[in-house]
Chain A
Amino acid sequence: MINDSYSDPNKVQLTEDGRLKHFLTTEGLSRELLTEILDTADSFISTQERAVKTVPLLRGKTVVNLFFENSTRTRSTFELAAKRLSADILNLDIARSATSKGETLMDTLWNLEAMYSDMFVVRHADSGAAHFIAEHVTPNVAIINAGDGRHAHPTQAMLDMLTIRRHKDGIEGKIVAIVGDILHSRVARSQIHALRTLGAAEVRVIGPGTLLPRDIEALGAVPFYDMKKGLADCDVVIMLRLQKERMQNALLPSEGEFFKLYGLTEEKLAYAKPDAIVMHPGPINRGVEIESAVADGSHSVILNQVSYGIAVRMAVMAMAMSGQQTPIITEENA
């Protein structure tokens, strides 16, 4: 029956002793837990540099990539992460199959549960879809949110945190600017929560009024409409991808005007600190949100982000699976 059992999202993703059993959002997670994810990811980065890259942490486990929205890149990094943890992986491209035939999300879930999977990596166009699945899936199946609507994309945010930590010697005290379409961005929301928890001095969001959500200050971000003012003294500049459909929805007049105001050029980047790093979750629209000279320039750590993505996903998958397995381990010990 429908009731208030899931009024606190963090009751859903944590075990009773505060460990991760699903990874749905960065919001509300403790600094210790976020740091543990980063430390674990750091340890996996060293394994990625070896000739034999696999570790046996998820041997015998079945991971299902449940993508209700297409995303080759994110799906591939999850697939690679699962394989390097020695899991069996199944890719389900639901965007083109089940739900388009009228099957409900619940029907899809029940079918997948019947396959005895251990983990679902979920991407869905609806905000809260990963929470919904975590609430309704059978126990002992871990849910990793690979992006839900405008709400959260926690693994992307954590790989960004890892990038900042490795390239800026920590997050504490840093000024971070996130630029572009904040309104529709699940990445931005997850970054804001993670940055605040990990001690960033200031999180700024920069964009036109149509692309900054109402009351964004409540999340702990400071809005700027002027790119140069917003970039002043920043340590980190995160550019977001601009979707073409924003022009059709009367949110923006043209790509050209957006680039003029918010596109990251060398000239605008000069307002940030001299050693500032430039990040982008990809894929890049060159000439729309960022000029090539900056994307490929010395400040850019965009390609590093991609390789850290695998390590972060390995870390989160390993941690969530271990959070799920607690009861079984206890039984074996008894």
Chain B
Amino acid sequence: MRYLHIANARVIDPASEMDSVTDVYIANGKIKAIGHRPDAGEIEETINADGQWLIPGLIDLGGHLPEPGYSQKGSIDSETLAAARGGFTHICSLPDTKPVADTSAVIKLILEKAARAGHTRVLPLGAMTQGLEGEQLASMYTLAEAGAVAMSNARQPIRDSYVLRRLMEYAATYDIPLFLCANDLSLSDGGCMHEGTVATRMGLAGIPETAETIALAQLLLLIEQTGVRAHISQISTRRAISMLRQAREGGLRVTADTPLANLIYTDASVTGYNSLYNVQPPLRSERDREALVAAVAAGELAISSNHRPHEIAAKKAPFSDAESGMSQYDFFLPHAMALVNRGELTENQLIRALTLIPAKVLDLNQGITEGNDFNAVLYQPAQEETVAANLLASRGHNHPLIGKTVIGKVNAVFIEGVQVC
């Protein structure tokens, strides 16, 4: 057996609660030994990882791939390369493509294109309802068979409680997990930012917290009634965290994530009408942001990308007319590490929210443990880099770090032992 030998890396693995400088030996895509040289076989290659971290590959519970349908915004090739460079080994793609991912053909197309590109693994989310219209159920069983790991309706709401109940019951029958966004459209419609002081000052129509919390209450009650496996995507408010906590204390098995942008930015960023910060869910108050960070620290939330690349014209418009979303995949890990550098999270808390918690949601084994697939990132935590548009792999240049300096660099990403970048 011939081994890849990673020497002297600081291995941070929340799953095994490991944090120590050691050696890792990989063969046939799997981790064969940690801390000691395997008895048989020879070393094919040694990577000296002095000063670097070896952490599990990041898993994204929700990003938008612009293919099929939005070639002006990027491709599966460009966006999965950006994801790999950001430290992701796996990303869940939201179903709001064109056509919508409500047929097995679209799911297969996404999987094939992602495999051909050979960067980050794509785990497609299928549509819960046909055309994401929230009315008729999509063929969820068929989509799951084709490779969809869970079903989602992106941010399109299911307006009718009856439809929501029935689709949960149907999914529960086949143990198909649902990724649900809490968004009461009758309260959020027309709004383009968090409803609060900044919106009042800017004269922009606001999206109240209740657009999220009222919808979340409805989701939690129906999840309880139907027993469906459910994950809540893209939580943005302090109140939603306490509702989720209460539901879990009552015995409900429900997980949740928050987009990275909501952990780093607040509605104050909208001052000056910079359309870059027009995102869904909206950037909320500092109080909400602090509560989200605290929930991540407590291990209650995964961090998702909510990556949404746009062409320049889509953002070059007055704030409320600009398309919402941020390009996030490039530099994702250093971007997220800002939370550690600011002292808001520990390394372990951040990495857990990016790897272990999403892995549990998806039933994946993603840990630096003997016998596991080698899905991992080599990260140089001290290196500074100034982000420029020409350094982005994503076709979406609506990236909040352009022109800024980040600390930390993804040096290598491995998927099943193969270095993808």
Given contacts A105-B318, A148-B318, A214-B197, 4 further A-B contacts (CB under 8 A): A2-B316, A3-B403, A132-B317, A152-B203
Q: Write out the residue numbers on chain A whose beta carbons fall within 8 Å of the beta carbon of B405.
A: none
Q: Kindly provide the distance from the CB of A195 to the nearest chain B CB, expressed in whole angstroms.
A: 15
Q: Which of B45-53, B269-277, B300-308 contacts A (4 or more CB under 8 A)?
A: B269-277
**Would you call B318 and A126 a contact (CB within 8 A)?**
yes
Q: Write out the residue numbers on chain B whose beta carbons fall within 8 Å of the beta carbon of A219.
A: 200-201
Partner-B contacts on A (CB < 8 A): 1-4, 6-9, 27, 104-106, 124, 126-129, 131-132, 136, 148-152, 186, 189, 213-216, 218-219
Q: Pick the most buried of B203, B269, B272, B276: most chain A CB atoms within 10 A of its CB.
A: B203
A219 to B318, alpha carbons, bound, how many Å?
23
Q: Write out the residue numbers on chain B whose beta carbons fall within 8 Å of the beta carbon of A1.
A: 312, 389, 397, 402-403
- Given the contacts A1-B402, A105-B317, A218-B197, A8 and B272 also touching, CB distance less than 8 Å: yes
Partner of A6, one of B274, B312, B316, B397: B274
**Inter-chain CB contacts under 8 Å: number:** 101
A-B contact pairs, 11 of them (CB 8 A): A1-B389, A2-B398, A3-B403, A8-B272, A9-B273, A104-B313, A105-B321, A132-B317, A132-B319, A151-B202, A214-B196
A7 to B202, alpha carbons, bound, how many Å?
12
Q: Nearest chain-A residue to B204 (Cβ)?
A: A127
Q: Pick the most buried of A3, A104, A148: most chain B CB atoms within 10 A of its CB.
A: A3
**Would you call B200 and A215 a contact (CB within 8 A)?**
yes
Q: Which 8 A-B pairs have the closest CB atoms?
A: A151-B203, A128-B273, A150-B203, A126-B318, A127-B203, A215-B197, A213-B200, A218-B197
Q: At the interface, yes or no: B284 with Cβ under 8 Å from chain A?
A: no
Partner-A contacts on B (CB < 8 A): 195-197, 199-206, 269, 271-276, 312-313, 315-321, 389, 397-398, 402-403
- Given the contacts A7-B271, A7-B272, A136-B316, A128 and B402 also touching, CB distance less than 8 Å: no
Q: Nearest chain-A residue to B321 (Cβ)?
A: A126
- Given the contacts A2-B276, A104-B317, A128 and B403 also touching, CB distance less than 8 Å: no
Q: Nearest chain-A residue to B397 (Cβ)?
A: A1
A126 to B192, alpha carbons, bound, how many Å?
11
Q: Kindly provide the distance from the CB of B65 to the nearest chain A CB, expressed in whole angstroms.
A: 21
**Would you call B203 and A148 a contact (CB within 8 A)?**
yes
Q: Nearest chain-B residue to A128 (Cβ)?
A: B273
Q: Write out the residue numbers on chain A whose beta carbons fall within 8 Å of the beta carbon of B319.
A: 126-128, 132
**Would you call A6 and B203 a contact (CB within 8 A)?**
no
Q: Write out the residue numbers on chain B whose beta carbons fall within 8 Å of the beta carbon of A129.
A: 318
Partner of B402, one of A3, A27, A124, A214: A3
**Would you call B318 and A132 a contact (CB within 8 A)?**
yes
**Would you call B318 and A124 a contact (CB within 8 A)?**
yes
**Would you call B200 and A149 a contact (CB within 8 A)?**
no
**Would you call B196 and A215 a contact (CB within 8 A)?**
yes
Q: Write out the residue numbers on chain A whose beta carbons fall within 8 Å of the beta carbon of B269.
A: 7
Q: Write out the residue numbers on chain B whose beta carbons fall within 8 Å of the beta carbon of A124.
A: 318
Partner of B200, one of A7, A152, A186, A214: A214
Q: Kindly provide the distance from the CB of A87 to the nearest chain B CB, expressed in whole angstroms.
A: 26
Q: Write out the residue numbers on chain A whose beta carbons fall within 8 Å of the beta carbon of B313.
A: 104, 106
**Would you call B202 and A2 a contact (CB within 8 A)?**
no
Q: Pick the most buried of B195, B197, B204, B318: most chain A CB atoms within 10 A of its CB.
A: B318
Q: Kindly provide the distance from the CB of B237 to the nearest chain A CB, expressed in whole angstroms.
A: 15
Q: Kindly provide the distance from the CB of B297 to the nearest chain A CB, expressed in whole angstroms.
A: 27
Q: Kindly provide the distance from the CB of A155 to the nearest chain B CB, expressed in whole angstroms.
A: 16
Q: Write out the residue numbers on chain B whose beta carbons fall within 8 Å of the beta carbon of A132.
A: 273, 317-319
Q: Write out the residue numbers on chain B whose beta carbons fall within 8 Å of the beta carbon of A218.
A: 197, 200-201
A104 to B196, alpha carbons, bound, how many Å?
29
Q: Write out the residue numbers on chain A whose beta carbons fall within 8 Å of the beta carbon of B196.
A: 214-215
**Would you call A126 and B275 a contact (CB within 8 A)?**
no
**Would you call A6 and B272 a contact (CB within 8 A)?**
yes
A128 to B205, alpha carbons, bound, how many Å?
12
**Would you call A149 and B317 a contact (CB within 8 A)?**
no
Q: Pick the most buried of B195, B271, B273, B274: most chain A CB atoms within 10 A of its CB.
A: B273
